[in-house]
A and B are shown apart, each in its own frame.
Chain A
Amino acid sequence: MEDKHQWPLYEVFVRARGGLDHKHVGSLHASDARMAIDHARDLYTRRQEGVSIWVVPSNAIVASDPADTDSLFEPARDKIYRHPTFYEIPDEVKTL
């Protein structure tokens, strides 16, 4: 299909319930933002997956370059002291 006949792509984020973050769940095509919300509702929340939806035009997302992976992420690998694994987590804390 030619590009002019294809609706723009949107990324969809759904909040599963109050207190949680919106999570990326997928993408869809829509002609405008309101249609994107409707489609997201129909595609991604039909089994009670969420209570709130964000849609973002995919071309508004700036992504890191896979070629930069080494310089961006490699340096963190040997700094394990940044992980909170030295703490004992109390049993009552469920969502840490």
Chain B
Amino acid sequence: MSAPAPKVDADALFRYVLRLGDLSLVLGQRLGEWVGHSPALEEDLGLANIALDLIGQARLLLSYAGEIEGRGRDEDKLAYLREQGAYFNAILAEQPNGDFGQTIVRQVLIDAFQLELYERMAASRDERLAAIAAKSVKEVRYHLRYSGDWLVRLGDGTAESHMRVQSALDLLWPYTVELFAADDLDTLMAESGIGPDLSEVHSAWSARVDAILNEATLKRPADRPHAWHGKRGQHSEHLGYILAEMQHLQRSYPDARW
């Protein structure tokens, strides 16, 4: 940083850390829906392992967010007692699983994003975020190996599997724009050396995803202007159902433990 870093207040950092944590939490919860329903027992475990990695990341990030906020909310309170409008994940994470191919497409798009994000965030000026990123990047590298390999198998597989993942890609692609659309908060974090520059993340992501799509013989859809603001708490109709299921127990039996 050549210019003096702008001052970051606790509320901004709190919201930023929730953005990161909520992306992992919501995606992890979505993947968890596959448990018991995967096409093969082996994939059941594979998807569940990824889901658990993501929940683990969310725990670290939400715990940190709670400490920043300083109002006594821990990871559980933040995960289980926040309303939809206080969730700041990008909308892509909450999109339905669809068939296995659609889940894989969503996974590739987010895995590649998290990989590029965490690789850079490992050098964050915020030591806690740097440590979480350094730990998470190892997990995410495997996630992308898993999802990327699957996308190649399906895209370069049978006519039917190709058709299915291509239409999943066409369906989900528009949501990727939100991942890289930097708002004031993203810009503030980048300028203060806490978060990466999202345009850098975007071009690295783009190259990585292109390589996978190319091998999978899939066609990259065109970017379209977006109207998604999940990062500011405006969500699609899907998040409410996810939270209803995820939060049901804590809301019905407050402070229940097991």
Q: Which A residues contact B (CB, under 8 angstroms)?
A: 7, 28-32, 34-35, 38-39, 41-43, 46
Once the chains bind, are B149 and A29 in contact (CB under 8 Å)? Answer: no
- B160 at the A interface (CB under 8 A): no
Tell me, in angstroms, the Cα distance from A29 to B44 when the chains sit together.
12
Once the chains bind, are A28 and B42 in contact (CB under 8 Å)? Answer: yes
Interface range on chain B (Cβ under 8 Å from partner): 10 to 19
Chain A residues near B46 (CB-CB < 8 A):
38-39, 42
Chain A residues near B149 (CB-CB < 8 A):
34-35, 38
Chain B residues near A29 (CB-CB < 8 A):
40-42
Once the chains bind, are B49 and A39 in contact (CB under 8 Å)? Answer: no
Main secondary structure of the interface of B (DSSP, over half): helix
Which partner residue on chain A sits nearest B48 by CB separation?
A42
- B153 at the A interface (CB under 8 A): yes
Once the chains bind, are A42 and B153 in contact (CB under 8 Å)? Answer: no
Chain A proximity of B135: nearest CB distance (Å): 16
Mask: chain B, 28-67; 1 = CB below 8 Å from A; 0 = not = 0000000000001110011001000000000000000000
- Most-contacted residue by chain A among B40, B42, B45, B145 (CB, 10 A): B42
Chain B residues near A38 (CB-CB < 8 A):
46, 145-146, 149
Tell me, in angstroms, the Cα distance from A46 to B48 when the chains sit together.
11
Contacts A/B (CB < 8 Å), 10 sampled = A29-B40, A30-B42, A38-B46, A38-B146, A39-B45, A39-B46, A42-B42, A42-B45, A43-B45, A46-B49
Which partner residue on chain B sits nearest A46 by CB separation?
B49
Chain A residues near B40 (CB-CB < 8 A):
7, 29
Nearest 4 CB-CB pairings of A with B: A39-B42, A42-B46, A42-B45, A42-B49
Chain A proximity of B228: nearest CB distance (Å): 32
Which partner residue on chain A sits nearest B50 by CB separation?
A42
Chain B residues near A32 (CB-CB < 8 A):
153
Chain B residues near A30 (CB-CB < 8 A):
42
Tell me, in angstroms, the Cα distance from A41 to B40 when the chains sit together.
15
Once the chains bind, are B153 and A31 in contact (CB under 8 Å)? Answer: yes
Tell me, in angstroms, the Cα distance from A46 to B142 when the chains sit together.
13
Chain B proximity of A21: nearest CB distance (Å): 25
- Most-contacted residue by chain B among A7, A31, A42, A43 (CB, 10 A): A42
Chain B proximity of A30: nearest CB distance (Å): 7
Please provide the chain B residues from 128 to 164 with a CB less than 8 Å away from any CB of chain A in the complex: 142, 145-146, 149, 153
